[in-house]
Structure 1
């Protein structure tokens, strides 16, 4: 049986040649080179070869700390054959993952023993992978009067206890594998009428699992959904279960690994942010420059037209949940915009598009322009184009941009994008839903700036108000999301999870602040996070990160004033600033210098790799000429 295809990725012409290229040369290939090799549709054997090559080279690759993760797998079945797929799935997101596998069926004992190898490993993330046979056995359906629904509720309660134990002992985010529907039906289409049916129990369990995981902040690996889409026998080999207790089949291992990899990426904030669309034969059928407005294929009247409209609806829904939409087309801009303004069947309209680039330049150059305009990294872009030539050109010129293989039938494009998991998200916040409005407001600010005669009057006319408050549960999800997604204006690139954020909230010697910027054009949303910890009589700034879209307005100085006020309230007399260089945060290299901090020696502090700065609180300017500080 062939492997479960990662069909949004190109098939390698020669997978062995990929490895030869990685091993060639005098300098060892780094993370980016292996990530590029991983962005192919690789089967189980090819995945294993690439993983083996990475394991040989990773020590010499010099992967920065923000790109490394330690994953512990707590399973009731054999999962060693999944490790390579997980590591390669993470490599596609430019993450280096080290895996610890608990002894077979001994995860609870290792959790309870503080001297175990699991505790010594100190994982960053825990994956709970309980096989369906184990779950059915735990359900005790053979007991008199047992029902599938009641058994599911009981097993979920036990599982919740395991989650609490993991949080208490390991203090990590949790990934929970859903149950594969491996048990055959006993009644048929009306299986739900058999009270103690194992097949119905697994359905009931998965339904209850989703509700409980949402309540408790656990993130699902939804293998049940994918197994039903691809066919159970593509995911589960009953013979291998009986021989080796492998619940997930070898040919599904690369796809499973990608599911885990995209969740690890979401935890580390490396999911894509922008969907960039070609127009002709991608958003509508035909070439608008040749066929005219009335000649393009879109909407009611043909199957293809309805499929293109359905793809637009899918893109619009992605935009409504927070994905930024952009256009990159070889077209005359006025002609392309005419369709958005006048075609009655268009679902997408100009206000939905945050960046609209239509000209005759090459698409790689235009994608660079879009990234600059939106102030995001090129690795945030997903470019959808029906033309294989354009796809291959962008992959060659901009290997960091995600370029999915697009099926010829437009009806299949939404499913292909969903399978790819580029926009994997752990939660949807109010700021996500308001992102389009924030970009539209930013255009108005830029237009106003272009008309202003001097910067001071422009900033004053914005009527900015910086609202700040301590961490709370209301903004917790967005706070963690911003910390984990921000790379450029990020002084230390330290990542946190929900539990670490709550620990800051409950620590009397620490404080975390969130900042929202509001001006005459609207709410910019949550734009900055600062975390400080007491160090003697000072407070050390462990995290300071800010959205790049608000730079150039003096927000940094206003933020410092709020941080100083909170440090003074907590009894501090100075601030210690840390700068830990990364591959992307060069823009803040002189951040503390610009704010008046003085570089100091580390004096044996823990952060030996970070540059340290100090500033007495009485040297911080309290007022800002253009920004009003408002404590929430």
Structure 2
């Protein structure tokens, strides 16, 4: 049975659900907390009823994420999945409205520009087709050539569907892979029969992966889920024959969770940092009591090898962009000993971007870690073997993600992997270097607090700001930053790859990205600025509107904003601009940039409930002097 095993299961869940107010709308965050438990199908349905009653037609006013308008295109019954989809999204703080075409009408609606699908205007489309529908019947006699044609036609039809949907909606497209529900005919050597249904299914899944990579479509890998959990956890042949339910109702909570992860990842809401306890989490025993030779770690015991396996998984996460931190109740000198001296330690001190070991409570230390790394608390995942510490953090910091660690350390890595909090839909060069970049930032911070005045400190960094226009090489990273940057983001416009490519085709658009280097290393691409001719009725000739200005918080306080404006102003003048119009649209997370434009010399232009607008006359603008060298990479 598929379960949300990384989440806690409390005995008073039903009591807390029933305690929600019925005479008025319950608090959104109370519903989110109820969703963050190991819920079965029945519990999910009960929570979904309260969710729909409270917020079915209108998102909460306190929502700090873009509402999800999700269309589910399937060839079988999907009604049993809808509560799981809504509650899965709720678990990630996403409000979701669903659209499902009438049974058997998904493909027809995708072809009809006047259909209910396009009237719904989805921003996410889930293609959830079953294997019997796509593979077809009586394929066993197909030759190898005919089987090749069949696979190409199936995947070609799906690619055409993705393209149609994107052209008409610019939606985020998710394609479900086929579950291995078709029966083998030859057994272990099934692949030797080209037309065998299961052989075709496997080949379609392989071709789907290649096509999705080429098209920028995200995969919901149900074949991988079945391989991990067993087909019976996801599919019931009896329910397929009786109700044409491809995914069984019992799997609906996990199905909705996996879909929500993809949506959250595409919107930049995945976690960024794994915070690790030490004693009985990275090794067995207590370093302060047992000493370096007494802790259990490495060769010689199954338990010791389990801790090594968990460390290896944590290390591998850093290779794909996850930051590591330590939060331990320990004397720092004792806590550091295994990292520096134990021969079986996989993780070294250099792998840890922020190391906090003291006797303060862990909620306080997690706040300190988030502050030092300059990331939100909701970007943290906290792994601790101690249930008291886990519950304390859940109570005091509900935005921090806390896995329910099993008693056996052999299951630590699998539990963290199944939780999916580090879900990613793309991997860039900057992702691979992120851990190194944060470690270098700690070195910069140490230098900053060494007693130098600010001007001397900035000059000592030997900063170089390299800029370039948008290009296909850097496009994945540009789209990634636009999708996930929340704090230093003036408008929070979320442009997908297709939208960015459309902007790149505009000869008048000023599209810039910036990379910052200094003597500690390369920070990677740290800023995106996009300015386009202003088409508003109130605009003057020569007005260029700054559609997007976002920056990494890692480079705050280093005069990068002033240097960036100098490059932007020069590029905008060359494009024909006379004035730059900047807009600040407040969100719950971007209050730090409220004074960005006035701080750079922009004058107030207009104000409304949703935004303030600012103007900079380029004829009067003189770039600020900064200690940063500017280099064009064009």
Question: TM-score normalised by the shorter chain: which range applies?
Answer: over 0.9
Give 1:508 shift. 3.1
Pair 1:36-2:30 in alignment: no
Provide the aligned length of Structure 1 versus Structure 2: 625
Which residue in 2 is equivalent to 1:382?
Answer: 381
C-alpha contact 1:28 1:61 (8 A) present in aligned 2: no
> Larger deviation: 166-175 or 348-357?
166-175
Which residue in 1 is equivalent to 2:301?
Answer: 302
User: 1: distance between equivalents of 2:145 and 2:250?
Assistant: 36
User: 1: distance between equivalents of 2:321 and 2:83?
Assistant: 32
1:472-511 → structure 2 map (5 Å cutoff): 472-511=471-510
Pair 1:47-2:47 in alignment: no
1:284-295 → structure 2 map (5 Å cutoff): 284-295=283-294
**Superposition TM-score, scaled by structure 2 size:** 0.95
Instruction: Choose the corresponding residue for 1:567, options 531, 549, 572.
Output: 572
Which residue in 1 is equivalent to 2:242?
Answer: 243
1:189-588 → structure 2 map (5 Å cutoff): 189-535=188-534, 536=539, 537-588=542-593
Pair 1:621-2:619 in alignment: no
Structure 2 SS opposite 1:413 = helix
User: 2: distance between equivalents of 1:559 and 1:473?
Assistant: 21
C-alpha contact 1:276 1:328 (8 A) present in aligned 2: yes
- The verdict on how the C-alpha distance between 1:568 and 1:342 changes in structure 2, with shifts beyond 3 A counting, is same
Structure 2 SS opposite 1:618 = coil
Pair 1:110-2:115 in alignment: no
Give 1:521 shift. 1.6
Give 1:372 shift. 0.5
Give 1:60 shift. 6.8
C-alpha contact 2:65 2:93 (8 A) present in aligned 1: no
> Larger deviation: 148-157 or 29-38?
148-157
User: 2: distance between equivalents of 1:120 and 1:599?
Assistant: 38
User: 1: distance between equivalents of 2:343 and 2:24?
Assistant: 57
User: 1: distance between equivalents of 2:265 and 2:365?
Assistant: 27
C-alpha contact 1:156 1:212 (8 A) present in aligned 2: yes
Give 1:358 shift. 0.8
Give 1:621 shift. 2.7
- The verdict on how the C-alpha distance between 1:144 and 1:299 changes in structure 2, with shifts beyond 3 A counting, is closer
Structure 2 SS opposite 1:357 = strand
C-alpha contact 1:11 1:40 (8 A) present in aligned 2: yes
User: 2: distance between equivalents of 1:550 and 1:177?
Assistant: 39
Alignment gaps of 5+ in structure 1: none
C-alpha contact 2:110 2:161 (8 A) present in aligned 1: no
Which residue in 2 is equivalent to 1:6?
Answer: 4
> Larger deviation: 112-121 or 398-407?
112-121
User: 1: distance between equivalents of 2:96 and 2:6?
Assistant: 23
C-alpha contact 1:283 1:311 (8 A) present in aligned 2: yes
Structure 2 SS opposite 1:23 = coil
User: 1: distance between equivalents of 2:621 and 2:94?
Assistant: 39
User: 2: distance between equivalents of 1:507 and 1:140?
Assistant: 48
> Larger deviation: 4-13 or 253-262?
4-13
Give 1:154 shift. 3.2
Give 1:452 shift. 4.8
Alignment gaps of 5+ in structure 2: none
C-alpha contact 1:285 1:297 (8 A) present in aligned 2: yes
> Larger deviation: 39-48 or 204-213?
204-213
Instruction: Choose the corresponding residue for 1:600, options 605, 620, 626.
Output: 605
CA RMSD after TM alignment:
1.8
Which residue in 1 is equivalent to 2:14?
Answer: 16
- The verdict on how the C-alpha distance between 1:181 and 1:60 changes in structure 2, with shifts beyond 3 A counting, is closer
User: 1: distance between equivalents of 2:597 and 2:499?
Assistant: 25
C-alpha contact 1:75 1:129 (8 A) present in aligned 2: yes
User: 2: distance between equivalents of 1:60 and 1:484?
Assistant: 21
User: 2: distance between equivalents of 1:341 and 1:380?
Assistant: 28
